[in-house]
A and B are shown apart, each in its own frame.
Chain A
Amino acid sequence: MIAEFGHFVLVLALAVALVQALAPLYLMQRDTALALPLARRAALAQFILVLLAFLALTYGFVRSDFSLAVVFANSHVAKPLIYKIAGVWGNHEGSMLLWVLIVAAYGAAYAAFSKTQDGFSARVLMVQGWLGVAFLAFLLFTSNPFARLLPAPFSGQGLTPILQDPALAAHPPLLYAGYVGFSMAYAFALAALTGKEDGQDWARRMRPWILAAWVFLTLGIALGSYWAYYELGWGGFWFWDPVENASLMPWLAGTALLHSALVAEKRDTLKRWTLLLAIITFALSLSGTFLVRSGVLTSVHAFANDPERGLFILAILGLFTLAGFLLYGLRLPHLAADRPFQPVSREGLLLVNNIFLATATVTVFIGTIYPLILDALGMGKISVGAPYFNAVFAPLTVPFALLLPLGPLANWREGSMRPLQNKLALAAGAAALVTCGIMLTRGAASLMVMALFAAALWLFFGAAIDMAQRLAPYRARLHKFWSLPASAFTAPLAHGGLAVMLLGILAATQWREEAVVAASPGQQIEIAGVALRYDGLREVDGPNYTAEQARLTYMSGPHQGAHLYPERRFYEAERSQTTEAAITTDLIGHLYAVVGEASGDKRVLRIWYHPYVALIWLGAVLMALGGSFALATRLRRQM
């Protein structure tokens, strides 16, 4: 009954979305005053209906209603409650429902919180309505989450054990909140292209939404990377896998968009580029979810290898992207000209930032699709993997990081770095000193690696100077944190976070230590200056798995006497196994132990020391925090 109710409200939601998409179009010709209230109410109603459907499906998962096909295929009674709930989006149909829910949520949030009463708002909601129609139709016609099985099976097939993990339960909602958030950028761009509002106005209204989307996407990607690090069994954190690339592209483009929208808002220039970027960012978000899902790129995330779904997806992607580009092309000649500006100024440096980010986006794009194109043209099968991306990204990162700190320090309009000469020299000196220190203590690495270290350190010290500059007027009340302007933390945290992440990546990849041994109980293993003793193996039972658990004891160092318990888990219902690494944290370095297969009467142990590795995700969190401060600045101003 509940499932049929869910299906029914989903159909209603489609009807409401159709109203939201069509009615403003009709009313705007006749009675403009009516268009907005109608679109608003439709957006709110659509959200409530989809939310009800989502709750109905969640109920099915929690109650293990195996008469529902998705629950049967992806759940099991013996699964902890949190993974029953996370199972809702651990499959194609449910994750599409989550996607639709987030589309509707953004529309409803805009309807509820946008104060301005004008045709622009009605047009934004109208575009959101069209998106709702497309995805609800996709859901209902090709991926109905409420399809029943007759007769109902007694037991479910379970959720892939590797997905039964807290980080991975939160990964899809965050990622989708990011991807879908950029639909707001698209809606704003289309609304701007069809209206007469000037650049400063639409850019100002667009920014909080893309900031929110960017923060979510940053956290979503970081969480996925952290999950891969501790779950896939050896401590890799980024694989340049097509799926990861698909999420990185909208992130890079979205980062460029954040900055160009800032220029459009403050200086009334780069408007055309910002509009184009908004359309591109959303197109990349769409392909991020859908091309990956449609099975064009073979990938672990491809649940939907169904030609009908693939075609539908491609149609949605093509339609929205083409509509965006077409409108852009048609309206471009009518857009107000960009205001001219000086090369050495904040807007000039932000333009340089955009050039680098656009280059990075294109690089990831080319690297991801080049093998497909070559194969389609019959020109041979090649692979483009991590070594390619590392080889291209390293030389791009150095100049990017060197120029980055200058942007926030420069003034709008007419910048000169001269007043800051001394402080910049200080940052450069500090970066050079630390780089030399690294070379002396760790030995010199390749020139490129040292250049990356130096550039990342310069970026870090530059961000520190920026923060000091911004807080200087408030020196007397630094202890009253909440009275300080949030804008003083925005750029320093975001840019400093990037520096921290780069340093983490460099240190963790350069100084990683590894020990692989076949050990018998009592044997000692030396790694990273500490001795570990292998104590043996025992069987343990989890809620829905059994595990072989090894015990390692620290024989020296600050953790002396502490134990590590790496596991190999066997999931009965799903008939598969996972490895659970045991990790000891030394503030920012990790000792990472994995138990492997038997080797005669011995046991293979793989132990790594990953120094500074936590900086990678700390950096991502700092970046997201910087974005949140920017959002807070805006919200505080509006209230």
Chain B
Amino acid sequence: MARLLILFVLMLTPAQALDPGEALADAALETRARALSQELRCMVCQNQSIDDSDAPLAKDLRQFVRARLLAGDSDAAIRAAVVERYGEFALFRPPVAPHTLALWAMPLLILLFGVVMAWRLVGKSARQNTSTPLQ
């Protein structure tokens, strides 16, 4: 129980992003850095991005991202480098790939299914209306 409680407290440790001096001087690069950081998972935290976390590992990764941006890497290259280190688990937005196809396609499929079902219901009603004229 005590161990659980400690775990519980650790998970809730207040999140505090960026340390002073971490941000890049170039505003455009910094915007990209923030956007990227929000998509990368802090590997030692509970459901936090590296942008939100004050864990040392998150800070390392934030600095890594910024260093690569300064070196002129593309967002995709940086993501790939992070995946190489930590696996796909580190991406909060999974890439579209065969094993995530259902994840990305499902919302659209459900929406289409709903529309088709509704269409059939209304279509049926229209047919019924014509076959049984109002008294």
Interface residue ranges, A against B (CB under 8 Å)? 73, 157, 160, 162, 231-234, 236, 239, 241-242, 298-300, 303, 305, 338, 340-343, 348, 351-352, 354-356, 358-359, 362-363, 366-367, 370, 374, 379-388, 391-392, 396, 514, 516-518, 574, 576, 578-579, 594, 596, 599, 604, 606
CB distance from B118 to the nearest CB of A (A): 5
CB distance from B121 to the nearest CB of A (A): 7
Known interface pairs A300-B46, A366-B103, A517-B20; A340-B129 also in contact (CB < 8 Å)? yes
Interface residue ranges, B against A (CB under 8 Å)? 1-2, 4-5, 8-9, 11-12, 14-23, 38-39, 41, 46-49, 52, 87-94, 99-100, 102-103, 106-107, 110-111, 114-115, 118, 121-122, 124-126, 128-129
Residues of chain A within 8 A of B2, CB atoms compared: 157
B125 touches A341 (CB 8 A): yes
Q: Can you spell out 25 A-B residue pairs with CB atoms less than 8 angstroms apart?
A: A73-B1, A232-B15, A233-B15, A234-B15, A300-B8, A300-B11, A338-B121, A340-B129, A359-B107, A359-B114, A363-B107, A366-B107, A367-B103, A381-B88, A381-B89, A385-B47, A386-B38, A386-B49, A388-B92, A396-B107, A516-B17, A516-B20, A574-B9, A578-B14, A604-B19
A355 touches B114 (CB 8 A): yes
Closest B residue, CB atoms, query A361? B110
B110 touches A358 (CB 8 A): yes
Distance of A396 Cα from B47 Cα, bound (Å): 24
Closest A residue, CB atoms, query B94? A382
A382 touches B122 (CB 8 A): no
Residues of chain B within 8 A of A382, CB atoms compared: 88-89, 91, 94, 99-100
Distance of A249 Cα from B132 Cα, bound (Å): 41
B92 touches A384 (CB 8 A): yes
Residues of chain B within 8 A of A299, CB atoms compared: 46-47
A383 touches B89 (CB 8 A): yes
Per DSSP, chain A at the interface is mixed
The 3 A-B pairs at the shortest CB distance, nearest first, are namely: A340-B125, A385-B92, A355-B114
Known interface pairs A381-B87, A387-B38; A359-B110 also in contact (CB < 8 Å)? yes
Find the residue from A242, A387, A578, A599 having the highest chain B CB count within 10 A.
Answer: A387
Distance of A385 Cα from B41 Cα, bound (Å): 9
Residues of chain A within 8 A of B17, CB atoms compared: 234, 516, 606
A160 touches B9 (CB 8 A): yes
B111 touches A355 (CB 8 A): yes
Find the residue from A241, A351, A383 having the highest chain B CB count within 10 A.
Answer: A383
Residues of chain A within 8 A of B19, CB atoms compared: 516, 599, 604
Name 8 extra pairs, CB < 8 A, besides A305-B4, A362-B106: A162-B9, A340-B125, A351-B121, A366-B106, A366-B107, A384-B92, A385-B39, A606-B17
Distance of A239 Cα from B52 Cα, bound (Å): 10
Closest A residue, CB atoms, query B41? A383
Residues of chain B within 8 A of A514, CB atoms compared: 18
Distance of A196 Cα from B111 Cα, bound (Å): 33
A576 touches B102 (CB 8 A): no
Distance of A162 Cα from B46 Cα, bound (Å): 16
Distance of A236 Cα from B15 Cα, bound (Å): 10
A599 touches B52 (CB 8 A): no
Q: Which of B89, B94, B106, B122 contacts A342 (CB 8 A)?
A: B122
Q: Which of B1, B12, B16, B114 contacts A606 (CB 8 A)?
A: B16
Known interface pairs A359-B114, A382-B88, A517-B20; A300-B12 also in contact (CB < 8 Å)? yes
